[in-house]
Each structure stands twice: as C-alpha cells, then as structure tokens.
Amino acid sequence: MKFSLNPITAKKLRRFRQIRRGFVSFTILAVLIGLSLIAEVLVNSRALIVRFEGKWYFPTYGAIIPGRTFGLDYDYATNFRELQARLEKEPERGWVLMPPVPYDPIENCYPGEFFRPRAPSFAERHFLGTDQLNRDVLARVVYGFRNALIFAGCYIVLTYLIGVSLGCSMGYFGGRLDLFGQRLIEIWSQVPFFFVVIIVASIVSGLGGMNLGWLLGVVVLFSWTSITWYMRSVTYKEKARDYVHAAEVIGAGNTRIIFSHVLPNVISTLVTFAPFSVAAAISALTALDFLGYGLPPPTPSWGELLRQGTSNLSAPWIVASAFGALMLVLVLVTFIGEAVREAFDPKKFTIYR
C-alpha cells in the first residue's frame, strides 16, 4: 500500500498552515530549534577554522587541541580568542575564524579580573553583556534554550509513554485496575509538587548532585496524571464505539484493537496537548532553576539567569535577556498550541458548514 495521508489529516495540516499566527510562530520556533542544534558553530569559544603554518584545523567538534599545537606555551585547551589576536599580528603564520559569538556558556571570560557583569558591547562581541561571573549571557541563553528543549522533549516522551500506556489500559480493561488507578491519581494529584521537588532535590544533592535524569524523574512523577486521566476517559469512550465491537467481531485481539483502532482515533487530540506540555515543561524547569533546585551550576539555564538578574538589577541586561527569551519561546509555543487546537477542532469538519 502506498503511503498517503488520511484526507482529514491533510485537511487539518492545511488548516494549520492557514492560521497565520500559529504557522509563523511554528516557523520561527523551528528555525530557533534548528539553530540551537548547531549552536556549537554559532556560539562557541572554539574556533571554526584555524589555518596554522600550512595546516588546517577544525576544532569545533572533537577532542580539545592543546595550546602547544599552535606554538603556545601551555598544554590545556587552546584559547582561540588569544590565538586569533596573536595571529593577527603575524598574519604570515596563519589565521583563525571564530564563531559569531566567540564565547562558551561556562567559561569566565576575564579570569584575571574582578568578576562583575559587563554591559552589552559589540566591540567585545558580548552582544547581551556578561553575567556576574563574566560569562557571556547570549551563550548562556542559547545553551539554556537547548537544555530546556532537551528537558521538554524527554518530558513529553516520558509523560506520554506513561500516560498513554497506563490510561489506555485503565480505560480498556477497566475493572480493578481502573478503580485503583483512578484513586491513585486522585490521591497523587493532591501531593504538593514543589514541596516534594525541594525535598527530593535536597536529598539528591546530598547523594551526589542533581542532574537532568533526576530532575526529569521528579517532574514526570508529578505530571503523568493529567494525560493518564485524559487517556483513560477517551479510551473508555472509544471502546464503546461500534467499530471496536466490529473489530472484536472479526476476531481481533486486545492488542490489535488498542493499537490499530483505539490509539489512532485519539492521537489527534493528544497532538493538541503537546505544545502546552512543552510550555509547562519549560516553565517548570525555569521555576526550579530559579529557586535553585534545578540543574546544578554551571549548567546554563534560564532560571539561573533570572535569579542572577533579579539579584543584580543594576545589570538589567541579564534579567532582560532571560526574561525576553523565556517570554518569546512561551508565546511562540502557546500560539502554536492555539493554532493546533483550532486546526484539529473536530467541529470544523462536520458536514454542516
């Protein structure tokens, strides 16, 4: 059978494209995500290309290149900005091409100096200034965005995996599983989320430190309930449909009915939840980082930037960058979510139009 989109799905996609605000937001966000995936090429303290004494070097990816390779007097990773400055004086030995933003998110750019936030400067290529530890704010915003995306992606996959499998079994098989599952969700959703996260975070940091896995685990532990609840009710509803009976009547087993009859019918509504889940995940991560219970320093994150910014209001570029980035992404995601919801609204596809 050749691959072809269900005409209804095709229509939904067409409708989504017609909703300008959502589609433009989607394009912008897609570009931003694409750029963040190649962030090493755009924002990095490693050079893109080094031409040194007749040899080519591409230090962006791969192992660090010790300073001696370029005739410097140290064995640790080359400081390419220094190398660039040096080679500009002796152009016959070679040259260095740096990324547009030549800073790393975790390096303290002026190690000898007294740490202070530096104002944005095009000359120094700190386009959004530096934070209180002299780290480039733009670099931290970009890599913080990537961390938030990774977090949101894993969050969605995990919550949907748990929610769909548990919710589907509860709705489909019913009986005791359903009864106890419902009570468990009711009780579990009453547990205050932030308290538990704070408690778990303090225990975990005693055990050896918070990391993405732990944080994800804790957040997912409190987020699977809503999608499970939703999946349970739609499966329950879907199970009573005639085509499910029809599938039973032709001799199809439970697995087949769930995967080929129930799930495809609820997938379109699940899609409409996804953008809002992304927004929820990003806000949760930022909130936890802001409170200091998120990813450990020096991981770049927006919540951590916000915290620095609010305690250094004399350097408004820090808080403005973090807030601006957060706002932009959340607004884009929400616009996309609204557009998806509208495009997938079943009422638009009735024959009474």
Query: What is the binding site for other proteins (CB under 8 A)?
Result: 1, 4, 6-8, 174-175, 241-243, 245-253, 256, 260-261, 264-265
In the complex, minimum distance from the CB of residue 243 to other proteins, in angstroms, rounded to a whole number? 4
In the complex, least distance from residue 130 CB atom to other proteins, rounded to whole angstroms: 53
> Are 128 and 308 a contacting pair, CB within 8 Å?
no
CB atoms within 10 A of CB 176: 8
Nearer to other proteins, 31 or 246 (CB): 246
CB of 260 to other proteins, least distance (A): 7
**Residue 69 or 268 having the CB closest to other proteins:** 268
Residue 33 or 252 having the CB closest to other proteins = 252
Closer residue to other proteins in complex, CB, 190/255: 255
Q: How far is the CB of 242 from other proteins (least distance, A)?
A: 4
Question: Taking the CB of residue 248, how many other CB atoms lie within 10 A of it?
Answer: 15
Q: Which residue blocks in 19-109 are alpha helix, DSSP H? A: 20-37, 39-42, 80-89
Q: For residue 111, what are the contacts with CB-CB under 8 A and spacing of at least 6?
A: none
What gap in Å lies between CA 86 and CA 102, rounded to an integer? 16
188/243 with CB nearer other proteins: 243
Ramachandran assignment for 235, one of left (phi > 0), alpha (psi -120 to 50 degrees), beta (any other): alpha
Lookup: tokens for 163:
């929610």
Minimum distance, C-beta of residue 250 to other proteins, in the bound complex (Å): 4
Q: Tokens standing for 84?
A: 């660039």
